Amino acid sequence: MRLAALGSTVQRAASPAYSSSRSASALRRRVLAAVLVAVSLILITGYFRESEDGPLHGVQGAAASVLHPFQVAAERVARPFQDVYGWAAGFVHAKSENQKLRAQLQLLEAQASQNATAARENVDLRAALKYQSGAAFPRGYDSQGAAVISSGLSEFQQELVISAGRNDGIRVNDPVTDSAGHLVGTVSKTTKVSARVTLLTDSSFAVSGYDVGSGTYGLVRHGQGSGESLIYDLVSKDKVVRRGDLIITAGRRSTDLPSLYPRGIPVGTVTSVNQSDIDIHQTIQVAPLADYSSLSSAWVLVPEGRPK
């Protein structure tokens, strides 16, 4: 066993001389940086002071000429990526703009539809007020307005459903007109809040009429075929009925041609008059005045004082 004697002297190896070399390297870097800064200042000062034909401008031009091919090559390499980026950005922007334009278009279409509906309702209300306050409105009647909520116009069925019913005083067989007072049809069925209206052009409908021009009575009913074809029937050949004559409701309750409607409701106008040797009555075609294809509201004639 080896024991170290107390107080013995041990010699250590001397440390490398790093500090002096590091100091010299740092000094050289500082001197080099100072020299470069000084040279840069001198060159910049000389560049701005000399003329455009000076040596420094020439060196700059030569350097630009040498570097130009590399610049062009770099631009050509980067251009496809720039184009792809530009196309992608443009596509995203166009898609966003398209969505905004679609939303704006839908809003404008909705506003236009609302404006058109409001304008049409305004026209209908003005016509209805004019009719109800005029001399042609039947005495002893009130009118109940309603919106057309559905329509069934086909070869075999001509009817409407309106938004008023028994709670509004409407009953079966009440006459129905448009806003201008033209005959539309009659109430054929009611609920508390709605009513079915059989149109004048339905094959089951008939109303006694009066020709204002000739002063003759007849029966307005659906003609042969489909659509809005009407005939003014039961008019003898000795009566002079002309094209363009106005046909109104007769408003009488005789045993021959009874009427459930007040007198004077416009029904239609005569479009043609024909006679045959074998028929005792004239063949008179009538066009209805009411436009069923664009009917958005209807007015039911209700007797005054009827309890609801």
| Both tokens assigned to 254 | 């005789």
> What is the full per-residue pLDDT of the chain (308 aa) written as tens digits?
443 434 444 455 545 555 566 777 777 888 877 777 777 777 677 656 666 666 655 665 665 566 567 666 667 766 776 666 677 777 677 777 888 888 887 777 777 766 665 666 667 667 767 777 777 788 899 999 999 999 877 766 789 999 999 999 999 999 999 999 999 999 999 999 999 999 999 988 999 999 999 999 999 998 776 556 799 999 999 899 999 999 999 986 555 555 678 999 999 999 999 988 788 899 999 999 999 888 899 999 999 988 87
| C-beta separation of 295 from 247 below 8 A | no
- What pLDDT, on a 0 to 100 scale, did the predictor assign at position 101? 80
- What pLDDT, on a 0 to 100 scale, did the predictor assign at position 53? 67
- What pLDDT, on a 0 to 100 scale, did the predictor assign at position 147? 93
- What pLDDT, on a 0 to 100 scale, did the predictor assign at position 26? 77
Beta partners for 197? 160, 187
Question: Using CA atoms, how far apart are residues 234 and 216, in angstroms rounded to an integer?
Answer: 10
Question: Using CA atoms, how far apart are residues 303 and 142, in angstroms rounded to an integer?
Answer: 6
Question: Using CA atoms, how far apart are residues 183 and 178, in angstroms rounded to an integer?
Answer: 7
Helix (H) or strand (E) holding 218: strand 216-222
- What pLDDT, on a 0 to 100 scale, did the predictor assign at position 171? 96
| C-beta separation of 160 from 298 below 8 A | yes
- What pLDDT, on a 0 to 100 scale, did the predictor assign at position 169? 95
| C-alpha distance from residue 14 to each of 11, 18, 21, 22 (Å) | 9, 12, 16, 18
Going from N- to C-terminal start, the domains of the chain cover 31-134, 142-308
- What pLDDT, on a 0 to 100 scale, did the predictor assign at position 46? 63
- What pLDDT, on a 0 to 100 scale, did the predictor assign at position 94? 78
| C-beta separation of 158 from 152 below 8 A | yes
Is residue 160 helix, strand or coil? strand
Q: What is the 3-state secondary structure (H, E, C) of 193-213?
A: CCEEEEECCCCCCEEEEEECC
- What pLDDT, on a 0 to 100 scale, did the predictor assign at position 227? 59
Question: Using CA atoms, how far apart are residues 300 and 141, in angstroms rounded to an integer?
Answer: 10
Q: String of b and e for 188-223 (b: at least 16 CB within 10 Å)? A: bebeeebbbbbbbbbeebebbbbbeeeebbbbbbbb
Question: Using CA atoms, how far apart are residues 179 and 188, in angstroms rounded to an integer?
Answer: 20
Query: Residue 202's closest CA among 174, 230, 175, 181?
Result: 230
| C-alpha distance from residue 51 to each of 47, 54, 60, 64 (Å) | 8, 5, 13, 18
Question: Using CA atoms, how far apart are residues 290 and 155, in angstroms rounded to an integer?
Answer: 18
**CATH level 2 (architecture), domain 142-308:** Beta Barrel (2.40)
Beta partners for 246? 269
- What pLDDT, on a 0 to 100 scale, did the predictor assign at position 195? 97
Is residue 165 helix, strand or coil? coil
